[in-house]
Structure 1
């Protein structure tokens, strides 16, 4: 009997070409994630890891490290994955309830920057394979797995990214399946770590584990190919009470990036806040009220969102990213959020506390959510003059239902550069786009990112 991992591996190998839309969206995701890595290179989390492995980071190591120098493929994936996720500006992928690209892109780049054998199109193909693998694993356990408290980025993300790395390495079907099996034994990460440096570390360890699982499979190590569905396997231990399994798993002719897509973040904070932020800004734009006019704000969100947003009164920038009260107060004050809103000083601004105290958050009930993957997030705003406005959002800005435009993508990229102390005079969006089409990812990244190496050495 064919196992789930064998079916997924067969599906990945069967896709020999991709549409122009799928390719463009993959390229956009890769560039967006590299921008997030550049922005995150000076954050405390990746810097701590780089310090830990300082003896393994050299100027002539195999793989590019965004905090400076080069290191082994494993260490590069660990540091770069943490950098990609540390500012919570990287994309979301609903079929896996994961920050898909923050695991996939660092893992793939650790291989692709280690030799001249890997081209941009190979990188894009492997990215699309890894994304489809993440969606396929998520099919059997989402949303139950996530609601149970597992961080899909470091569990499902690890397993799916291992498949992507295996495809990039040119492994065959059995080796791809074994890479995913080995990665299943490495999957970990509780959502209770949200709001701490361990949360972006989850993306780093998932990227590292994905790389190592694929390399081990390449060298002949094997695992059980029924480890997703068997007793004491992933579904049994990680699935949660309402996981459905993979009996009905199937694939569309179109790639998942076309049908479900990614959500490119336009706010550098937990995605659980984004639909409420966008809904509140919609109301403010439509009705023209100011922050001083607001008497009370009530939000209704999913149960997992309430669990994620555990800091109504944050004391630092990490907690602020997981605070509905903080993020909504800043957005309505400034008309949006930027990386500059998440510093130790910004997070404790006393002038925001008055408004934050007016913001309330409740969740849907278990019964309301039962059998439904996603429900809209609702926002109700009461003004001091007695007027009340309400709206809801099923999709955040940046999703394929409300896609970001070229101007928004560029503005985000420039925000990432500014945060890193750089500008488009140092590196451009087009420089990074070239990585996805060139003959050698290593050569192009070395050329495009050489300014970063000078920046790192200062």
Structure 2
């Protein structure tokens, strides 16, 4: 074995072997944020329908379905097979499109990396410290591959949460299972052969299913590799392998310049991350005194890649509205709380006042050297004057108070006391010996 695949395995293992305190703190933020999102996301229609199918399929319950007990015919704290739980939990974590982002890999990382680790830890009685270390290994592996490949796969139309996410999930699960280098390389190969996801599905229920399948693929790949299933061990660099089919095999080697996890980005608005710059920039204009009634026109200038990601001009549903720069700009002009997932409904999308504001917004694309995370919002007022504000979303950091408030709001459907206890458990996850008990705090066990 040699080449890019082996480099990623060795570097990601080294990164997980010695985790700095700041990196561990970031991992705990990711885990808490994901639990809140999965709890709230479990009530979304896509999750209810998929959960009903899983329950009808039947299985020996060995892992927790987060947010379980929210649908007809479900018992509180419903369990499932490891595969079912991983799939359903990953879908739930991404269903609100409110989960964290890695700009390096163009992936929503936690919702694909964490669910396989929780299910394996429940099934094999592994502790929270092992889960955290494996999470770091999976995150760093995906981060290295993402930086190596660049934006090419995403620009071609691959939803990298579904494609690269499968490799990150496999790397994390292989680390938790203690697989050696050769078996881990086979896990990468098996995950790559299952990787799928197309950006054409943005704005539909298929998008969160990409995350579910990626997490499930990572789990299966690691378990299959552990069972001795064969695969190429050079899948990243192989002719007709992962890099060659996704984009083009990069000329340079795999590199690692510090924990990618330290640069993780969190969402504070319940819409596509590509729309967040517009929301923040317009919020800055409102702080300058701009009010909707005085606005004649809004011009948003963004990276050209947004056209294939979040530029649905006339959204018809709440899901489509999350991928509409023009519509979120209208919401922001009105001062709507875009951090509330329940805001994005079909009824709100059809409101005449919002449609009228939406139609005053135009989207322009910057030149080829335009920073990919920069949004400039320019408003023309009724008196002909203009105001401008900008936002670089890559500079928005982690805010513990804001993240905890987000978690507590998302987890407010849990029985009394569960959300606080779950937050406390995650804050000390390295000392948690019973991951199953932790996961059951994220269900409605104790009700009904």
Give the TM-score of the pair, scaled to structure 2: 0.92
Q: How many residues align?
A: 435
Q: 1:125 to 1:246 in 2, by over 3 A?
A: farther
Superposition pairs for residues 284-433 of structure 1, below 5 Å? 284-285=286-287, 287-337=288-338, 338-365=340-367, 367-368=368-369, 374=372, 376-395=374-393, 401-418=395-412, 421-422=413-414, 425-428=417-420, 429-433=423-427
Residue by residue, what CA displacement relative to the aligned partner does 1:347-390 show, whole Å, maximum 9, x if unpaired? Answer: 2222211100011112234x436xx7x35222111111222112
Looking at structure 1, the residues matched to 67 and 14 of structure 2 have their Cα atoms a distance apart, in angstroms, of: 37
Structure 2 counterpart of 1:36: 37
| Alpha carbons 2:32, 2:426 under 8 Å: kept | yes
SS of the aligned residue for 2:378 comes to: strand
The counterpart of 2:141, out of the listed 102, 112, 133, is 133
Looking at structure 2, the residues matched to 95 and 222 of structure 1 have their Cα atoms a distance apart, in angstroms, of: 30
| Alpha carbons 1:300, 1:378 under 8 Å: kept | yes
Looking at structure 1, the residues matched to 214 and 266 of structure 2 have their Cα atoms a distance apart, in angstroms, of: 20
Looking at structure 2, the residues matched to 357 and 312 of structure 1 have their Cα atoms a distance apart, in angstroms, of: 9
| Alpha carbons 2:7, 2:254 under 8 Å: kept | no
The 10-residue stretch of structure 1 (422-431 or 210-219) with the greater mean CA deviation from structure 2: 422-431
Structure 1 counterpart of 2:89: 80
SS of the aligned residue for 2:390 comes to: strand
| Alpha carbons 1:56, 1:71 under 8 Å: kept | no
| Alpha carbons 2:415, 2:446 under 8 Å: kept | no
Looking at structure 2, the residues matched to 94 and 251 of structure 1 have their Cα atoms a distance apart, in angstroms, of: 15
SS of the aligned residue for 1:95 comes to: coil
Superposition pairs for residues 242-253 of structure 1, below 5 Å? 243=248, 245=250, 247-252=252-257
Structure 1 counterpart of 2:80: 71
Structure 1 counterpart of 2:152: 144
**How much has 1:49 moved relative to structure 2?**
1.3
| Alpha carbons 2:167, 2:192 under 8 Å: kept | yes
Residue by residue, what CA displacement relative to the aligned partner does 1:231-257 show, whole Å, maximum 9, x if unpaired? Answer: 211222111xxx5616232112x3112
| Alpha carbons 1:312, 1:325 under 8 Å: kept | yes
Residue by residue, what CA displacement relative to the aligned partner does 1:52-73 show, whole Å, maximum 9, x if unpaired? Answer: 1213456x71111125211111
**How much has 1:207 moved relative to structure 2?**
0.4
Looking at structure 2, the residues matched to 427 and 226 of structure 1 have their Cα atoms a distance apart, in angstroms, of: 43
CA RMSD in angstroms, aligned pairs only: 1.9
**How much has 1:434 moved relative to structure 2?**
4.2
Looking at structure 2, the residues matched to 348 and 181 of structure 1 have their Cα atoms a distance apart, in angstroms, of: 46
Structure 1 counterpart of 2:272: 270
**How much has 1:179 moved relative to structure 2?**
0.8
Structure 2 counterpart of 1:158: 166
The answer to whether 1:453 aligns with 2:435 is: no
The counterpart of 1:113, out of the listed 85, 102, 122, is 122
Structure 1 counterpart of 2:432: 438
Q: 1:55 to 1:423 in 2, by over 3 A?
A: closer
Residue by residue, what CA displacement relative to the aligned partner does 1:395-426 show, whole Å, maximum 9, x if unpaired? Answer: 25xxxx332423211221133124xx347644
Q: 1:13 to 1:422 in 2, by over 3 A?
A: closer
Looking at structure 2, the residues matched to 332 and 414 of structure 1 have their Cα atoms a distance apart, in angstroms, of: 26
The counterpart of 1:94, out of the listed 103, 113, 117, is 103
Looking at structure 2, the residues matched to 169 and 96 of structure 1 have their Cα atoms a distance apart, in angstroms, of: 24
The counterpart of 1:212, out of the listed 212, 220, 242, is 220
**How much has 1:435 moved relative to structure 2?**
4.1
**How much has 1:204 moved relative to structure 2?**
0.3
Looking at structure 1, the residues matched to 58 and 417 of structure 2 have their Cα atoms a distance apart, in angstroms, of: 28
| Alpha carbons 2:414, 2:442 under 8 Å: kept | no
Looking at structure 2, the residues matched to 349 and 110 of structure 1 have their Cα atoms a distance apart, in angstroms, of: 42
Looking at structure 2, the residues matched to 356 and 57 of structure 1 have their Cα atoms a distance apart, in angstroms, of: 46
Q: Give unpaired runs (5+ residues) of structure 2.
A: 69-77
Looking at structure 2, the residues matched to 423 and 402 of structure 1 have their Cα atoms a distance apart, in angstroms, of: 33
| Alpha carbons 1:140, 1:246 under 8 Å: kept | no
| Alpha carbons 2:159, 2:197 under 8 Å: kept | yes
**How much has 1:274 moved relative to structure 2?**
0.6
